[in-house]
Amino acid sequence: MTVSSTLSRRALIGTALSAGAASLIGASTQSRAQAAGTVNFTAWSAAVDQVKSHIGAFENATKLKVNYENFPWAQYRTSVVTRLVGNAPMDVMWISDAWLPEFAEAQWLAAIDDVPELMKYNAEAATYCTQSMTYKGKQYGLSYYGDHMSFVCNTDIMQRAGIEKPPATWDEVVQASLKIKQAGIVEYPMLLALAIDTWLIEFVSAMVFSHGGRFVDPQGAPIMAEPGRGAIEAATWIRDAIHTHKILSPGAIETPDINALRAFGAGQHAFYIVPTYRLRALNDPSQATAAGKIRPVLMPRGPKATTSATCGWIRFYGMTPGAKANAARRANAVKFIEFFGGKDTTGAYRFQKLLLTDLGLPFCTMPLAADADVKAFWDKWAGGGDVIAQQASSAVKKDVIAPWFGEWNEMANAAWQSIFLNKATPEAATRAMAQKWNELRKG
């Protein structure tokens, strides 16, 4: 018994050691295989089903393996930064245009100017999208999707209030809202999601740009605190909408984008600023009771604005310098980015089209606009694609995107809210924002 037990123990230790050695050898082999035939793709948790399905198509077409991992949007930037700092294996990742300067300065993104397989797609991409992926003259990726803030109306509420055409200026929005309110149709006709979350800067930027304004001048100096430059006027409009005209609920201050979407879909408001990709959900009867009555119109203009400008943004595929430095990894990463952000092996913009038809995510690729399925999509979910195309053409990239954007935005979010709460004047709050901008700019 003793002998047997001793032998068993020896056998056990031997097996454990063998297993350990085998796993080490296996790991080493796997590591070599990773370099040879694997793409490490990091994304946030969006379009997961579509990404997985397209990864399957990519693996079949290229015989490469994809290690796909995703993190929630709210933690994505922090997760990716810590992984990059820790030299985790990453080849391709989704990037927001807001992080481009920060990531490029930290050398976490590789420029693709010397990758003709990817640069050739610029010829068919909207200029605004290409510009949004460019920092200090270098391009850093291919688009995942490109979108802009749309002004949408509930046509049913407008009809009931006897409003025949949608408001074209912010003054007309006030007048139309007051008419709806006085008719007792809804208490707060205007809807904005003004909670401190990642979308606040886009909502506010859309308002500022539609007032013909900007936050900074072309040299990067802050002009947000200067009267007549749009920021003060936009902030004043929102403050007055809440406190003077009472057409926008004070609850907007704690309403995040997703709650606002539900409220608008339920037919509780007449006017709303929303990312265009939400139109599909808003006009889907299974998700919104007001479906079919929600239509995009051009962004209302401020008194000094000459166009109906709005805020646009893009998300894109970026390659890590680590992947670019290794010939095999670079080749695989380029294939992956092209398959997803460009054309697949059949020569079609399949993934960009899939994202639109499945989820409503607009694209940067111009030729797709003429696609019959794409046209049918916009006809079904937005009453046509003309307004969307026209609005997209006047979308403006957020001019506050800089290496210090994240830190400035933290402060700015609180400052915007203090204006909306009537706790600070637009002049004082924007002055504080400009001061912070200058501090960060000086480094």
Contact residues toward another protein (CB under 8 A) are 78, 81-82, 84-85, 102, 105-107, 195-197, 249-254, 263, 403, 406-407, 410, 413-415, 417-418, 420-421, 423-424
* Residue 308 vs 417, nearer CB to another protein: 417
Least distance (Å) between residue 50 CB and another protein: 29
The nearest distance, CB 301 to another protein, in angstroms, is: 29
Nearer to another protein, 6 or 435 (CB): 435
Closer by beta carbon to another protein, 129 or else 263: 263
Alpha-carbon span 323 to 37, nearest angstrom: 12
- Nearer to another protein (CB atom), residue 105 or residue 358: 105
Residue 408 CB, nearest distance to another protein (Å)? 10
As a whole number of Å, the end-to-end CA separation of the chain is: 74
Smallest distance from another protein to CB 78, Å? 5
Nearer to another protein, 78 or 390 (CB): 78
Q: Closer CB to another protein, residue 288 or residue 355?
A: 288
Please, what is the minimum distance in Å from the beta carbon of residue 338 to another protein? Answer: 29
* Min CB(174)–another protein separation in Å: 21
Q: CA 254, CA 259: separation in Å to the nearest integer? A: 10
Structure tokens at 161: 């209030």
Bridge partners of 151, per DSSP, are: 273, 297
Closest CA to 64 of 92, 31, 25, 35: 35
Residues 6+ apart with CB under 8 A from 128: 146, 312, 364, 392, 395, 396, 397
Cβ proximity to another protein: between 271 and 416 the closer is 416
Rounded to a whole number of angstroms, the minimum distance from the CB of residue 342 to another protein is 29
Considering beta carbons, is residue 53 or 418 the nearer one to another protein?
A: 418
In the complex, minimum distance from the CB of residue 406 to another protein, in angstroms, rounded to a whole number: 7
